Amino acid sequence: MTRIAAVSLNSAVDQTVRVPRFAVDAVNRVEASRVDAGGKGINVASFLAHLGHEVTVTGFLGRENAALFERHFAQTGIGDACLRLDGATRTNVKIVDPVLDQVTDLNFPGISAGPEALEGVGRALGALLEAGLDWVALCGSLPEGLPPETYAGLIRQAREKGARVALDTSGAPLAAALSAGPDIIKPNIAELGALLGRPLAGRDEAVAAAREIVAGGVGLVAVSMGAEGAVLVTRDASLCAVPPGIEVASTVGAGDAMVAGLIHAATRGLDLAETARLATAVSLGALGEIGPHLPPIDRIEDLMAAVGIGAA
Ligand SMILES: Nc1ncnc2c1ncn2[C@@H]1O[C@H](COP(=O)(O)OP(=O)(O)OP(=O)(O)O)[C@@H](O)[C@H]1O
Ligand SMILES: [Mg+2]
C-alpha cells in the first residue's frame, strides 16, 4: 500500500441544492440538498483512499464545523492531521437547476491563515514524512494570509525526505512552485495559459506550453481540457487522451479525480499511455456521480477501455 498525504489549505463544505427553474430576485424552493466535505485537497484524498491508498490529510479546518470533516475521515478511513483554526470552514453552494440545465456557484472566502498556522502544517507534514510517505498531493488555492511561495516550500520539504509531489493549483502559487520541481502538475488549459501569459487554443498549443514547463524541471504536465480530454507531456513523450461522450451527473471534482488518477498510475508504475487512460477514467468516474464521489473500481476499469489515446 502506498502512503500519501494530501495538503488541504483551503477546505470547503460543498453544499449542492437542486432548484428547478432557479430565478434571481425571487423566492426559490429547494427540492433536494446535500452536503459533502470538499475542497480540492479533501477530494483528492477521498479519491485516493477509494483507490486503495493509505491517506492522511493535513492543512486547515475551521473548528466550528470540523465535525462534518471528522465524520467523513472516519467513514473513508482517511487519517486526520489537520490543524483547527478559529471560525468555520467556508461553504460553497452549488445551485443545480435540472430544468433550465444551469449551475450557479456561490463560493465563500475561506478562513485566513497566518505564518504560524503554516508552520503548524509544516510540522504535521514533517511528522508524516518521518513516518514515511511515497507521495504528497498539494491541491487548491491558498487561503488569504499565506504567501505565494507556500507550495514551493512544502514541495522542497517533501522532496528532501524522498516523497514525490503532485501539485494542482493556479495563479501566483503555481508560478512560484515550479522552480521547486514538482513531479506532476495538472493545470487546466486556462490555468496553463494564465501561467505563461498567453491564451492557449487547443491541443497543439497546450502541448507546446506543457513542453516549456517540463523543460523547467517538472516531471509530468497533464493539461486538462474538459470534454476535450487532456494532453500529458514528459521530457520523453507526449500524448492526448480523449474521453468518450458520457452522461455527466455533475462536474464536481473531475479535475481532482484526474489528479488522484495520475498519482494512482504513478504508484503502479504505469507508462504514459496507461497513465493517461487511467487518469481520464477516474475523472469520468467522478463525472458520473453527484458530488465528489467515485464509482466502484471495476466501473473505472470499464471506463479505461473507452478512453482514446493518440499522438500529440
Ligand atoms: N464534459 C466532460 N465530458 C467528458 N470528460 C470530461 C468532461 N469534463 C471533464 N472531463 C474529464 O475530466 C478531466 C478534468 O476536467 P477539467 O479539465 O474540467 O478539470 P478542471 O478544470 O481542473 O476542473 P476542476 O474544476 O475540478 O478543477 C478532463 O481532462 C476530462 O478527462
Ligand atoms: Mg482544476
CB of 207 within 6 A of ligand 1: the answer is no
Report the separation in Å between the CA atom of 180 and the middle of ligand 2, taken as the mean of its atom positions.
Answer: 20
pLDDT of residue 172: 98
pLDDT of residue 210: 98
Q: What is the 3-state secondary structure (H, E, C) of 68-106?
A: HHHHHHHHHCCEEEEEEECCCCCEEEEEEECCCCEEEEE
Q: Specify the residue with its C-alpha closest to ligand 1, atom 4.
A: 227
* Domains of the chain in sequence order: 1-151 (3.40.1190.20), 183-312 (3.40.1190.20)
Q: Specify the residue with its C-alpha closest to ligand 1, atom 3.
A: 227
39: left (phi over 0), alpha (psi -120 to 50) or beta: left
For the beta carbon of residue 185, count every other beta carbon within 10 angstroms.
28
Q: Which atom of ligand 1 is nearest to the CA of 230?
A: 29
Q: Which atom of ligand 1 is nearest to the CA of 256?
A: 26
Q: Specify the residue with its C-alpha closest to ligand 1, atom 8.
A: 226
pLDDT of residue 252: 86
Question: Which residues lie below 8 Å from residue 288, measured CB to CB, with a gap of 6+?
Answer: 246, 247, 248, 249, 295, 299
CB of 251 within 6 A of ligand 1: the answer is yes
pTM: 0.97
CB of 143 within 6 A of ligand 1: the answer is no
> 493549483: which residue's cell?
169
Residue of 14, 36, 168, 256 with catalytic role? 256
Name the residue among 52, 12, 62, 7 with its Cα closest to residue 35. 12
How many secondary structure helices (H) and strands (E) does the chain include? Answer: 10, 14
Report the separation in Å between the CA atom of 118 and the middle of ligand 1, taken as the mean of its atom positions.
Answer: 30
For the CA of 189, the nearest ligand: 1
Name the residue among 43, 61, 74 with its Cα closest to residue 117. 61
CB of 248 within 6 A of ligand 1: the answer is yes
291/38 Cα distance (integer angstroms): 9
261/202 Cα distance (integer angstroms): 23
Report the separation in Å between the CA atom of 25 and the middle of ligand 2, taken as the mean of its atom positions.
Answer: 31
For the beta carbon of residue 48, count every other beta carbon within 10 angstroms.
25
Q: Specify the residue with its C-alpha closest to ligand 1, atom 21.
A: 188
Report the separation in Å between the CA atom of 29 and the middle of ligand 2, taken as the mean of its atom positions.
Answer: 30
User: Between vectors from CA 137 to CA 131 and to CA 141, what angle results, nearest 5°?
Assistant: 130
Report the separation in Å between the CA atom of 255 and the middle of ligand 2, taken as the mean of its atom positions.
Answer: 5
Report the separation in Å between the CA atom of 5 and the middle of ligand 1, taken as the mean of its atom positions.
Answer: 23
In this structure, what C-alpha cell is assigned to residue 115? 505564518
pLDDT of residue 258: 98
Name the residue among 93, 14, 65 with its Cα closest to residue 292. 14
For the CA of 258, the nearest ligand: 1
In this structure, what C-alpha cell is assigned to residue 81? 492531521
In order along its 312 residues, the chain shows pLDDT tens digits of 899 999 999 999 999 999 999 999 999 999 999 999 999 999 999 999 999 999 999 999 999 999 999 999 999 999 999 999 999 999 999 999 999 999 999 998 889 999 999 999 999 999 999 999 999 999 999 999 999 999 999 999 999 999 999 999 999 999 999 999 999 999 999 999 999 999 999 999 999 999 999 999 999 999 999 999 999 999 999 999 999 999 998 888 999 999 999 999 999 999 999 999 999 999 999 999 988 999 999 999 999 999 999 999
Report how far apart, in Å, the C-alpha atoms of 301 and of each of 240, 296, 306 are: 19, 9, 9
* Residue 256 bears catalytic tag: yes
42/7 Cα distance (integer angstroms): 8
Q: To 10 degrees, what angle do helices 150-160 and 115-131 make?
A: 20
pLDDT of residue 151: 98
CB of 169 within 6 A of ligand 1: the answer is no
In this structure, what C-alpha cell is assigned to residue 253? 471534482
Q: Which atom of ligand 1 is nearest to the CA of 43?
A: 26
